[in-house]
Amino acid sequence: MRRFFFSLLLFLAPLLASCTKEKQVYIVYYGEHKGDKALYEIEDHHYSYLQSVKESAEDAKSSLLYSYKHSINGFAAELTADEASRLKGLKGVVSVFKSDPRKYKTHTTRSWEFVGLKDDEVSGFRGDDRYQNLDVNDHFRVGRKFLKTAKHGDGVIVGVIDNGVWPESRSFSDKGMGPIPESWKGICQTGVAFNSSHCNRKIIGARYYARGYERYYGPFNTEANQDFLSPRDADGHGSHTSSTAVGRQVNGVSVFGGIAMGTASGGASLARLAVYKACWAVPNADKSNGNTCFDEDLLAAFDDAITDGVHVISISIGTAVPQPYLNS
């Protein structure tokens, strides 16, 4: 029996050693901070911590994916389990947690009608009489004058963190819109099938984040991924959520060639849209499985959205399976 356990130990030892050397992305969190340091100072601070557990300065630099300034006080880096454990024991580190590639996926929100945000009247006729929308089934009414009072979001910048946007949609037309707000500090990041002309006075900014995604799945492969390495939406989810939030009023639309003919509009049709693509198609998987979103990419999107000057962040993302409250 003793010989059996000794043989089993010899068999398991290399496997256990390989597990401790396998690299994965971890989020390192320092806790509360003032946020008054420049980004290069923050990065230098993060490098110093990484160099204390890495074999060389080059290894430390190549392992760092993101340094966060606004979303959380911390960074994302590729670490072994041993390196993560050692970092967790360093002074100033509050927690170190592993990025879970299967934890988050895109979800879809209900329409504004569900919460009672509709215009006062419906553009419809019964015979020769224009009729009022009586909202007989609206149990979540917040006031029929709300949208007009809020000027349909005019002057507000909404950042949507999702899987991109289809800029050619009429929901994102800038016709009749004024200049971009002076407070805006963002950019229009170009990429595959997305150039600077796809941003306008409606879509005032666009970015994408794939470092965590590529560290897990490998270099981006258009055929396998069925996606665009750019802010462009490949399956319609991000365009749907963006248009639900801030889509322009588009008359005469329907589904399946004539069903439910009417006017499509977002809740804040005059608000500006900033796109942050942090969710991607799972390689070699059916599109019906939806998109996956990595912790580190999502946090980077939050960080930039805050820096860029958005007023509201909309994110239709949830866990793939229910999570215990204390683990959420």
Q: Does residue 271 sit within a domain?
A: yes
Per residue in 67-111, pLDDT tens? 999 999 999 999 999 999 999 999 999 999 999 887 888 876 555
Q: Does residue 30 sit within a domain?
A: yes
Question: 311 pLDDT band (50/70/90 cuts)?
Answer: very high
Same domain, 301 and 246: yes
Q: How far apart are CA 268 and CA 112, in angstroms?
A: 10
Contact residues for 122 (Cβ-Cβ < 8 A; gap 6+): 131, 132, 133
Same domain, 73 and 114: no
Name the least confident of 9-13, 128-132, 157-161, 196-200.
Answer: 128-132
* DSSP symbols for 223-243: HHHTS-SSSB-SSSHHHHHHH
Buried/exposed code over 196-231 (b: 16+ C-beta within 10 A; e: otherwise): eebbbebbbbbbbbbbbbbbbbeebeeeebbbbbbb
CATH of the domain at 237: 3.40.50.200
Same domain, 35 and 151: no
Residue 76, beta-bridge partner list: 27, 66
Q: Does residue 10 sit within a domain?
A: no
Domain limits at 69?
23-98
Same domain, 93 and 155: no
- CA-nearest of 261, 246, 263, 251 to 174 is 246
Angle, CA of 70, 76 and 81, to the nearest 5°: 145
Same domain, 88 and 156: no
Q: Does residue 14 sit within a domain?
A: no
Residue 104, beta-bridge partner list: 293, 319
Last residue of a domain, one of 41, 68, 98: 98
Same domain, 148 and 291: yes
Q: Does residue 284 sit within a domain?
A: yes
Q: How far apart are CA 7 and CA 106, in angstroms?
A: 47
Q: How far apart are CA 87 and CA 148, in angstroms?
A: 53
Last residue of a domain, one of 68, 98, 128: 98
Same domain, 152 and 253: yes
Q: Does residue 130 sit within a domain?
A: no
Question: 2 pLDDT band (50/70/90 cuts)?
Answer: low
Per residue in 253-282, pLDDT tens? 887 778 888 888 898 999 999 999 999 999
Handedness of CA 80, 82, 86, 88 (dihedral sign): positive
Q: Does residue 327 sit within a domain?
A: no
Q: Does residue 266 sit within a domain?
A: yes
> How far are the Cα atoms of 40, 48, 76, 192, 316 from residue 36, in angstroms, in the given order?
12, 19, 20, 35, 30
Local structure of residue 29 (DSSP, 8 states): E
In this predicted structure, the answer to whether residue 245 has a pLDDT above a threshold of 50 is yes
In terms of pLDDT, which residue wins out, 50 or 261? 50
| CA contacts within 13 A on the Cβ side of 260 | 5
Same domain, 77 and 207: no
Last residue of a domain, one of 66, 98, 130: 98
In terms of pLDDT, which residue wins out, 112 or 288? 288
Q: Domain count of the chain? A: 2
Q: How far apart are CA 168 and CA 194, in angstroms?
A: 11
Q: How far apart are CA 25 and CA 259, in angstroms?
A: 46
In this predicted structure, the answer to whether residue 114 has a pLDDT above a threshold of 80 is no
Same domain, 191 and 311: yes
CATH of the domain at 44: 3.30.70.80
Same domain, 29 and 152: no
Exposed, middle or buried by CB within 10 Å (0-12, 13-18, 19+), for 194? buried
- CA-nearest of 50, 52, 56, 57 to 75 is 50
Global pTM value: 0.83
Buried/exposed code over 5-27 (b: 16+ C-beta within 10 A; e: otherwise): eeeeeeeeeeeeeeeeeeeebbb
Same domain, 58 and 84: yes
* Edge-to-edge strands, sheet with 23-29: 64-68, 74-80, 23-29, 95-98
Question: 53 pLDDT band (50/70/90 cuts)?
Answer: very high
Same domain, 176 and 303: yes
